[in-house]
Amino acid sequence: MLRLPKFQLRRAASVSEAVAMLAAEGACEGRARPVAGGTDLWPNMKRRHQRADVVISLAGIADLTGIRSNGDLTIGANTTLSTIETDTEVRHRFPALARAVASISSPPLRNMGTLGGNLCVDTRCTYYNQTEEWRRSIDYCMKEAGSTCWVAPSSPRCWAHSASDSAPMLAALGAQLTVVGPQGERQVAVEGLFRDDGMEYLAKTPEELVTAIRIPRESARWRSAFWKLRRRGSIDFAVLSVGAALDVEDDGTIRDARIFLGAVASLPVAAEASVEALRGEPATAEVLAAAAALARRNATPMDNTDFQAQWRGAVVQKYVEAALRECVGLPTERQTPKHRLV
């Protein structure tokens, strides 16, 4: 049985108190960490992937929970995934987001896990997400105590991949985050939260907290879709995910598009070549297929998760095309992912 190491659990009553605790307890030195639902942190601490002398619980901060609509849709970072998945407003205005959230793990973990936690979920790798004994047997990897990235041994960086399913979809919807730290509050686009580095994958300091996610009202008129590839129809992390949103005029012309790929790099990747190929074009099957083919340029899957990297790269085109076809109401012509809303 894997057991948690010894640590102090402290409860914060407000965001400002939590930020002050993280700063005082040495979050920047790795001595303190925040926890909301704990579905990522507790297993990581059991396997000794992550360590902390002090864990600051955010569960009692009421301001971090709830879904509010005043044109824009604002979701508190501590709102559980199951709450978002079943929320009437989310399902009506942003059904692809509800599908993305519904694809995460299993119902018991969605009852505990939070949206903010899923956005900040640790990057994953075949050589990292193992027991302590397994990792020690290969002399560890760069992401922990070693000096070599076993995915690419000659590389000077870590190639662990982004594991968040909500991030590609929220990025496609143009969502903005509120981040609060010792220096105050700031707004950042979802895609701006991430760095292309498997170890330092978040573009925020350890003392900062994501407190809210805001989806602009304009995104509700965009047609969106979410597709996810994994070995099993539930539980498993993605080996590829696609969040797509199209702004289509009444005559069928694509005014704009946003497409983000998950699990192909250390951050959600914007399929920029595909977007450029769609702007100003009619939403026909031929146009969508040609744009989807370009998505492969932006994806560099490596041997750090399930399935062969070459095959995962080839499937990028197929899944992007299926997502785009769903956006415009064309038959997907592929097996539909099993995470459908009921």
Q: Is the pLDDT confidence value at 16 over 80?
A: yes
- Is residue 333 very low, low, confident or very high in pLDDT (cuts 50, 70, 90)? confident
How far apart, in whole angstroms, are the C-alpha atoms of residue 292 and residue 259?
10
The arithmetic mean of pLDDT across residues 212-230, rounded, is: 97
The predicted pLDDT at position 196 comes to 95
Beta strand residue intervals within 182-236, DSSP E: 184-189, 209-215, 223-229
The predicted pLDDT at position 340 comes to 58
Q: Is the pLDDT confidence value at 158 over 90?
A: yes
Which run of H or of E encompasses 35? strand 32-35
Which residues, including other chains, have CB under 8 Å from residue 323's CB and lie 6 or more apart?
225, 226, 227, 242, 243, 244, 259
Average pLDDT, the chain: 94
The predicted pLDDT at position 336 comes to 64
- Is residue 303 very low, low, confident or very high in pLDDT (cuts 50, 70, 90)? confident
The predicted pLDDT at position 242 comes to 97
**Are the beta carbons of 172 and 164 closer than 8 angstroms?**
no
How far apart, in whole angstroms, are the C-alpha atoms of residue 48 and residue 188?
31
In the DSSP assignment, the letter for residue 121 is: P
Q: Is the pLDDT confidence value at 161 over 80?
A: yes
The predicted pLDDT at position 224 comes to 98
The arithmetic mean of pLDDT across residues 207-230, rounded, is: 97
Q: Is the pLDDT confidence value at 288 over 90?
A: yes
The arithmetic mean of pLDDT across residues 293-298, rounded, is: 91
**Are the beta carbons of 11 and 55 closer than 8 angstroms?**
no
Structure tokens at 58: 């955010």
